Every structure is written in structure tokens, then in C-alpha cells.
Chains A and B, each alone.
Chain A
């Protein structure tokens, strides 16, 4: 079977750090991707973790623990433009990106 859990909403203030958690159950797991989607827009790829550990890309970092079926996206120095929905997308044996309901991040001034 397959399941995916993320918080539905996270709020934070500008300049803060926020962590969005993701737990998953996926057959033939290969890795975990993260996507960002602004209201009315297309999702865009942020990062991919194929191995355990932390991947850093500018203000964004993503972490994976295969043994715990868990990952997170860390956003630092939050900006208003970071207000968006964030989706974790585990990749299984079929290589098809699978998305859950996503996490709505609201950044306040």
C-alpha cells in the first residue's frame, strides 16, 4: 500500500525557520522529492533526496531517513514569497511522482 502524511498548514513570520515534515509508505522506495506550488500556479521541483541525510540548496534544505520513512523540508530566512503549498513526493518502483495533500505555508510580516 501507499500512504503519505504532511501537516495541512504551517504558519511562521518573516525571517524565521520552518520545518515541514513528511512521513510515507511507498512500495519499492527510491527517494523523496519536494515541490512548491503558489496559488493558481504549477508545482515546481525544489529538491530530491535519494540517500539518507541532508541536501542543501540555498535557503532550502531537505532531509531523508529511509529507516524511519521520514523526511522534512527546512526553509530558512523565510520571505513573504515563500507562502505557498509544499508537497513531498515519494518515488516508488514505478518512478511515478506521487503527491499528497501538501502543506500550506503562510508567512506573516
Chain B
């Protein structure tokens, strides 16, 4: 079955540590995205990539880094420079169909807690 997989589901990190969140898709989508969601809040765009080996900063990229070496994979690193990293992180992918719009498919999310 095609889909988008995030791992791990729960992650605990000590202050000052970097941590990498995995996101893999087998939907053959060109575009991939990382969003952050805080309790009772909407989704804020961290980074996005519309093609392999290229990515762009979103609205809240500070303290985060990404890579896009393969079409299927778009890992997100939360660095120690991110001041408030505790949040729910969602990865998504999409293809573009002019008739259907940009339907984004989401992974099940990674809940990161800094301890």
C-alpha cells in the first residue's frame, strides 16, 4: 500500500541535543513538507521541497535543517538552536493535479518532547 511513514511516533530529547525525524513516502510525489503543530494550534510550515536536492525555508525554519537526497525521503533535524522544540511534527507529500489541486498526504506524526 502506498503511503507516508514517519518515525518514531514518540521521541524524547535532552536539551542541547540534535535529533532527526524520519519521513518516507512511496507515493512517487515530488513535493514534501514538514509542519509543526502546537497544542490547539494550526499547522506551521517549517521546510518544503518540491524536487530532489532542493528545499526551501518555510515560515518557521530557524533551528531546523532538512535534506532531500532521495525522492522518497525528507528527514528533519531539530537542532539545539531550536528554542521550543516540544511539539507535534507532521510530514506531508503531494503531487500536483490542476484539476484536483494539491492534495497533501500526511504521515501519522512524531511527538517530540524535550526533557
List residues of chain A with CB under 8 Å of any chain B CB.
30-31, 33, 35, 40-45, 48, 50, 87, 89, 91, 95-102, 104
Contacts and interface: CB of A to CB of B under 8 A. Distances in A.
Contacts of B31: 95-96
Interface string B99-112: 11111111111000
A100 B42 CA distance: 5
B78 to A, nearest CB: 19
B42 A87 contact: yes
Query: Which of B48, B50, B103, B105 gathers the greatest number of chain A CB atoms within 10 Å?
Result: B103
Interface residues of B, number: 28
Contact of A101 (B35, B41, B105): B41
B89 to A, nearest CB: 11
A95 B33 CA distance: 12
Interface of B: 31, 33, 35, 40-45, 48, 50, 58, 90, 92, 94, 96, 98-109
B43 A41 contact: no
B33 A96 contact: yes
Judged by DSSP, the binding face of A is loop
Contact of A96 (B44, B48, B100, B106): B48
A42 B107 CA distance: 6
Given A50-B99, A87-B42, A102-B42, A97 B104 contact: yes
- The 4 tightest CB contacts between A and B, nearest first, are A48-B101, A42-B106, A99-B43, A101-B42
